[in-house]
Structure 1
Amino acid sequence: MKHRHKVAYSLISLIGFNLISTLAAFDPAMAAPTPKAIATLPRTPDKSVNCEILVVGGGLSGVATAYEGLLAGRTVCLTEITDWLGGQISSQGTSALDERPTQRALKFYSRGYLELRNRIGRKYGKLNPGDCWVSESCFLPRDAHAILTDMLKDAEKQGKGKLQWFPNTVIKDLEIAADGKIINSAIAIQHQPPKGAPPLNTFTLSQSIEDSYSYENSSRFTKTILRFLPKEAKGDAPKWYVVDASETGEIIALADVPYRLGIDARSYLEPSASSTNNDPYCPQGFTYTFAMEATKEPQPQAMPPFYLQYAPYFSYELTRLANFDLVFTYRRIWSPTKGKPAKFGGVSFTAPTLGDISMQNWTWGNDYRPGTAQDNLIYSRQQLQSTGQLNPGGWMGGLRTETLRKAEENALSFYYWLVAGTTDSKLGEGVKQQQSNNRFVSGLNSPMGTVHGLSKYPYMREARRIIGRPSWGQSGGFGIWEIDISRRDYNDQYYSKTLPEDMYRRLRAAVAGLEAISVIEGKVPPDKAMRRTRSTIFPDAVGIGHYAIDFHPCMVNSPPEAPGNTERPGERRGAGQAYPFQIALRAMIPQKIDNLLVGGKSIATSHIAAAAYRVHSFEWSSGAAAGTVASFAIKNAIAPYQLVDDLPKQEPQLEALKRLLQQNGNPTAFPDTSIFNENWDNWR
């Protein structure tokens, strides 16, 4: 058995790592950031706060980081731009857990995610109080925040850690050491309404975000300036760790470490890419969710003044989806009375009943999908430079406020279309019928917790994604790519005809599994090589995920809602099923800075891989890994990059870390993961 394990490790080193040396396609300008000095503050910070782990972003990844840090006895500071914990399932409103059937049936998740699911079940007496059909768990966003708050309190008590929670707080500036390797401190701004001002969550994000990042007090907000500093630790390793768990990769942009955004250039690693060049302006669409309630009587429906601008975009999309009850129950998050069985387009569901509440998140509806340099939401590095946001004190969140505003208008218009619209941009006349027995749900006590009724923050499907450090097999920087996870059959003639001959050969070798060497040596023709039937196995795996590669492509023209606009051609080619996959530690370690870790949607994935690495359980698993890695690094006085810098050689401390994760109930691999196991057909 020992001999077989050595052979397996050797083969993993050669094959599971991506056998062929690659230069990852990225913008060279991103590879040479300069050390960042902190700006002169308008006044002395109001408060200094010491942390062992500073977590930026209170979404699922950030909460999971804090959860594991607290269980390990660490002092954790957690910041969040909104006042709710949970991100996707709370402040972003997508409280419908995206899960795969096999993983769900086996309950093969991180311990914290399992606890979250259990507490949802206990809260309502069942896991699916909304009786939705997209998931086995749809629930109210406001309850998710309360559940996660209790989970962190319990973890703090159990692990004897200390949680310092800072809602309504943004990071404004970083002090980075002269050698560029360590974040020494972070400056943050916390905001609260002054006496007599409207309460929090009165204004939409587009109305308040610029104020949130400004040091000056305003009629809306009184500001508290915070300075986060490390808590002393032994040894020469970093004294603390900063974890970027933000929704858009704010800290990696502010720290100016190398990253990608949007489409990656077509390569043998990303053969289904829709472009031969990088395109930072075409990430996936984002969505302001909202809630609507079924009523007994018809409700007055006021047309928004901007409705006609957005109406040409809206559609049920497909004939088999062109049914209001089907769409309403898709992500129904509350159903006090079980409706009668119904069926449409091959989908079974229960009909809406009085008092049902539905959350809307629809591609040809409240998705907003800009794809040009004139309207993209997440600013590229070049745009950040040109707008001064990379200057000391210049950071304003890295988002285009105007695009946030238009996405808010688009969402409000979509509600009106659902209840009063009679047009359909893709299916033509006579399909869309009015549904006036519904009301838009808003108010501080509503499911979204806002006066305006939209989610506090948009649901982000894609963010800035770091380029990992140069690694064996990926000298341009480590990344997880399409071919690492996709079930796609690359025998499709598209690839042999579209890709250059050398690129096609490298593709077939890279997915050939145990036959890779024979393909490279020319002993086996590329089109005769057996396709491996599993994802890439990473020796530094620290977490897991499983979901389909699911695309909401950007639109070709600006603005996205322009009549006749179409999705970017070829973007959906990469979509499809994926094998159960792993989270490599190298994907969480940025270049340049040694005490920065990355979780959530900003880990080192490609544009296509990111379409699968974005759902709820993955975010939790990546956060659990980040919290564990940070605590392990502090305890052992070792920087995370030192755990993987000798790969493909064995790394004893890396193995100790992986054992710790597994002992704590945070899986790093799916059952029976092995280069010898090619039987993954049952994992769906």
Structure 2
Amino acid sequence: MNHRRRCIDKIQTINSSKKTVSRLSLVAVTVISNLVTPLLAPFTSIATPPRNPDKSVNCDILVAGGGLSGAATAYEGLLAGRTVCLTEITDWLGGQISAQGTSALDERPTQRAKQFYSRGYLELRDRIEKRYKGNLNPGDCWVSDSCFLPKDGHEILRDILKDAEKRGRGKLEWFPNTVVKDLQKSADGKIIDSAIAIQHQPAKGTPPINSLPLSQTIEDAFSYENSPRFNKTIIRFIPKQTKIVNAPKWYVVDATETGELIALADVPYRLGIDPISHLEPSSSSQTNDQYCTQGFTYTFGMEATKDPQKQTMPPYYMNYSPYFSYELKRLADFDLVFTYRRIWSPKKGQPKTFGGVKFTTPTPGDISMQNWTWGNDYRPGTAGDNLVYTQQQLRSLGQLNPGGWKGGLRNESLSKAEEKAYSYYYWLVAGTTDSQLGDGVKTPRSNNRFLAGFNAPMGTAHGLSKYPYMREGRRIIGRPSWGQPGGFTISEVDISRRNYNDEYYRNNLPADMYRRLRATLSGLEAASVISGKIDPNKAMRRTRSTIFPDAIGIGHYAIDFHPCMEKSPPEAPGNRERPGERRGAGQAYPFQIALRAMIPQKIDNLIVGGKSIGTSHIAAAAYRVHSFEWSAGAAAGTVAAFSLKHAIAPYQLVDELPKIEPKLIALKQLLEKNGNPTAFPDTSIFNQNWEDWK
């Protein structure tokens, strides 16, 4: 016990440092982890029924997940005067821009130049610029027009929501360090009547929140019982409304990073690769492969120093070193990689060009956030190592039983991804190998230090992001719709700029599938292509994205893949990306978010936002960036508030399509009036000229 107390005291002494950045070396982080982990091992218990809640909280809108989509949902709900309850597994708002560390806004040039975004996203950008005294890019990074410190992202969003609460006369109930554990449904299963959540705080005499990485705390966070590490508060969320009849009294929004609530609610969804079809012609698989989702990443911060630093090899480094690479010769430069997502640069370096990219060289005090495909990406893709458990896996593990939910993630993969992130840092500063380019391109750069501590960029004692950056999770299958009797989904062909007239598609797709593909893309000539009156290779190709009559948001980004690896473990020597996975990658037209993609089957008061809307695997690779997440969240918050006001369920706004839906028109008008675009300028079936949208 005295040994345990001394270890805890040692951590608390380090954490109490008043330095701007706690500059723990990698060896210090490893030592602390080794000391504390055996003493505070993850607490687990057999799934038990929930104890009586410690308190009940009334909401108009319950939002699970405090990332950008969840924050945007809350923003619009508050401006509409509603009581919004917002839960988040970490203690930071913002997801990608804060807790996940990817505080570099992914944007397309034309949309950025025209500033054509949702009103809340524009406010976010404006406040970032004001925070840094007129500089939207204090990191002077080259991947984005805005790279900044993650903690500032959280604080800016916190202030935005506080102001929205005042302006709209709504009420925000904010629950950090909180996870949704159980959903209680009506007798017919169509309504979520209440939700049970767990909020955790450090037990007396234990290290603060964010002392240990997620893999060592996640199972404990989802346990009802108090543990040696955490004290728990059990919260029951219930509707605030009592007068509404014949319609939902409240709405629950799944804005989690992996679609936790859609798994808990057991509504139809997809994971991983979709089978090849005329709608998903670039798929790498003939059948559905649930285990191959895009890679996830623990980001971290590193600082350039004047003098060389002592670098200590992690004990597990050799397990991961066969993986690391600059990837391409045009990227094989340390300065280029460091400045790629540099989030702080107090003094500009010298201009430099490498591989056609212009940037300024790092100077002492510069801070880089690392997020690199052949670096700290972790890319499992088999049934034995996939991160996001499938429905079948969840059932076999008992996680869909009452009280059995533990977050739906494979803890071993989280742990290995954490080790890999530490190892990637060591490779950057001390490694000499390169798995893709061979020896001779990599030289050590030891004048850098790993940043850890509560005042460091990631706000954690261990230095890794509080939560991994998630590119893909569960994706709902919407309700059957006209043209999609199996359930609504936004597919590859709805957004891709590819013309599909090349040799691969002509030779590899079955003739009838290829004909249907060309017909889908040919608009008014579709019937003639299907009947054989027009050669599919000569049919006019639509040069825009699909226009949805129920569009309630927008997005634009390339179809960008970080594919899973072919074999397990992903870091195995000689492993390669799943063959064919990058075929669907490429440019996309400016696209829309359909309301039908946000309405799950079976449950009438569950709305889905963020990355879990109804998209295919390939389309999801574009529907995942910052501005999209905000637009989807703004739509979710507006739909929830609108539905409460009009005593209507969201599915009733689209159930008569393609007939005219008067209330759907009113909703779209409200979104536009509020500064939340539902279409890009000049969107119509007659405008086929989108080449200027870069």
TM-score, scaled to structure 2:
0.93
SS in structure 1 opposite 2:302? strand
How much has 1:515 moved relative to structure 2?
2.0
Partner letter of residue 45 of structure 1? P
Q: Does 1:327 align with 2:321?
A: no
Quick check: 230-239 or 524-533, which moved more?
A: 230-239
SS in structure 1 opposite 2:322? helix
Partner letter of residue 438 of structure 1? N
Partner letter of residue 198 of structure 1? P
CA contact under 8 A between 2:98 and 2:150: conserved in structure 1? yes
2:586 aligns with 576
User: What pairs with 1:394-409 in structure 2 (closer than 5 Å)?
Assistant: 394-409=404-419
SS in structure 1 opposite 2:84? strand
- Tell me the distance in 2 between the aligned counterparts of 1:385 and 1:216: 22
SS in structure 1 opposite 2:198? strand
SS in structure 2 opposite 1:425? coil
CA contact under 8 A between 2:49 and 2:402: conserved in structure 1? no
1:171 aligns with 180
Identity of aligned residues (%): 79
How much has 1:40 moved relative to structure 2?
6.8
- Tell me the distance in 2 between the aligned counterparts of 1:243 and 1:476: 23
Partner letter of residue 477 of structure 2? I
Q: Does 1:183 align with 2:186?
A: no
1:295 aligns with 305
How much has 1:516 moved relative to structure 2?
1.8
CA contact under 8 A between 2:51 and 2:224: conserved in structure 1? no
SS in structure 2 opposite 1:118? helix
1:662 aligns with 672
1:268 aligns with 278
2:358 aligns with 348
1:81 aligns with 89
How much has 1:414 moved relative to structure 2?
0.1
How much has 1:220 moved relative to structure 2?
1.3
- Tell me the distance in 1 between the aligned counterparts of 2:249 and 2:493: 37
Quick check: 533-542 or 513-522, which moved more?
A: 513-522
1:103 aligns with 111
How much has 1:44 moved relative to structure 2?
1.3
SS in structure 2 opposite 1:486? coil
- After superposition, what is the alpha-carbon deviation per residue over 1:423-471, rounded to whole angstroms, capped at 9, x for unaligned? 1111111111000000000100111000000000000000100000000
1:365 aligns with 375
1:377 aligns with 387
2:217 aligns with 208
Which runs of at least 4 in structure 1 moved beyond 2 Å after TM superposition?
Answer: 39-43, 520-523
How much has 1:234 moved relative to structure 2?
2.1
Aligned partner of 1:72 among 80, 102, 118:
80
- Tell me the distance in 2 between the aligned counterparts of 1:160 and 1:520: 55
CA contact under 8 A between 2:283 and 2:584: conserved in structure 1? yes
CA contact under 8 A between 2:141 and 2:339: conserved in structure 1? yes
Partner letter of residue 462 of structure 1? E
- Tell me the distance in 1 between the aligned counterparts of 2:282 and 2:426: 37
Partner letter of residue 95 of structure 1? S
Aligned-residue RMSD, C-alpha: 0.8
Q: Does 1:411 align with 2:421?
A: yes
How much has 1:253 moved relative to structure 2?
0.3
1:490 aligns with 500
1:5 aligns with none
User: What pairs with 1:176-255 in structure 2 (closer than 5 Å)?
Assistant: 176-232=185-241, 233-255=243-265
2:638 aligns with 628
Partner letter of residue 61 of structure 1? S
How much has 1:42 moved relative to structure 2?
4.3
CA contact under 8 A between 2:560 and 2:585: conserved in structure 1? yes
User: What pairs with 1:487-636 in structure 2 (closer than 5 Å)?
Assistant: 487-636=497-646
CA contact under 8 A between 2:50 and 2:403: conserved in structure 1? no
Q: Does 1:117 align with 2:118?
A: no
1:24 aligns with none
- Tell me the distance in 2 between the aligned counterparts of 1:159 and 1:169: 25
CA gap 1:42/1:246 in 2 versus in 1, 3 angstroms: closer
- After superposition, what is the alpha-carbon deviation per residue over 1:602-653, rounded to whole angstroms, capped at 9, x for unaligned? 0000000000000000000000000000000000000000000000001000
2:447 aligns with 437
2:14 aligns with none
Gaps of 5+ in 2: 1-46
1:93 aligns with 101
- Tell me the distance in 1 between the aligned counterparts of 2:560 and 2:524: 29
- Tell me the distance in 2 between the aligned counterparts of 1:554 and 1:609: 16
Partner letter of residue 98 of structure 2? S
- Tell me the distance in 2 between the aligned counterparts of 1:449 and 1:321: 29
Partner letter of residue 130 of structure 2? R
User: What pairs with 1:11-50 in structure 2 (closer than 5 Å)?
Assistant: 41-50=49-58
- Tell me the distance in 2 between the aligned counterparts of 1:102 and 1:42: 51
Aligned partner of 1:640 among 650, 653, 656:
650
- Tell me the distance in 1 between the aligned counterparts of 2:111 and 2:229: 46
- Tell me the distance in 2 between the aligned counterparts of 1:40 and 1:636: 40
- After superposition, what is the alpha-carbon deviation per residue over 1:567-624, rounded to whole angstroms, capped at 9, x for unaligned? 0000000000000000000000000000000000000000000000000000000000
- Tell me the distance in 1 between the aligned counterparts of 2:643 and 2:383: 40
- Tell me the distance in 2 between the aligned counterparts of 1:534 and 1:407: 38
Partner letter of residue 429 of structure 1? D
Quick check: 387-396 or 39-48, which moved more?
A: 39-48
Partner letter of residue 664 of structure 1? N
- After superposition, what is the alpha-carbon deviation per residue over 1:16-71, rounded to whole angstroms, capped at 9, x for unaligned? xxxxxxxxxxxxxxxxxxxxxxx974421001000000000000000000000000
CA gap 1:626/1:42 in 2 versus in 1, 3 angstroms: closer
SS in structure 2 opposite 1:314? coil
1:159 aligns with 168
1:17 aligns with none
CA gap 1:292/1:40 in 2 versus in 1, 3 angstroms: closer
Partner letter of residue 692 of structure 2? N
- Tell me the distance in 2 between the aligned counterparts of 1:161 and 1:522: 58
Partner letter of residue 165 of structure 2? E
Quick check: 211-220 or 618-627, which moved more?
A: 211-220
Q: Does 1:148 align with 2:153?
A: no
2:3 aligns with none
2:144 aligns with 135
CA contact under 8 A between 2:497 and 2:588: conserved in structure 1? yes
- Tell me the distance in 2 between the aligned counterparts of 1:557 and 1:678: 42
- Tell me the distance in 1 between the aligned counterparts of 2:419 and 2:491: 35
2:24 aligns with none
How much has 1:195 moved relative to structure 2?
2.1
CA contact under 8 A between 2:48 and 2:404: conserved in structure 1? no
- Tell me the distance in 1 between the aligned counterparts of 2:403 and 2:621: 33
- Tell me the distance in 1 between the aligned counterparts of 2:193 and 2:436: 53
Aligned partner of 2:437 among 419, 427, 443:
427
- Tell me the distance in 1 between the aligned counterparts of 2:662 and 2:116: 26
- Tell me the distance in 1 between the aligned counterparts of 2:571 and 2:200: 34
SS in structure 2 opposite 1:312? coil
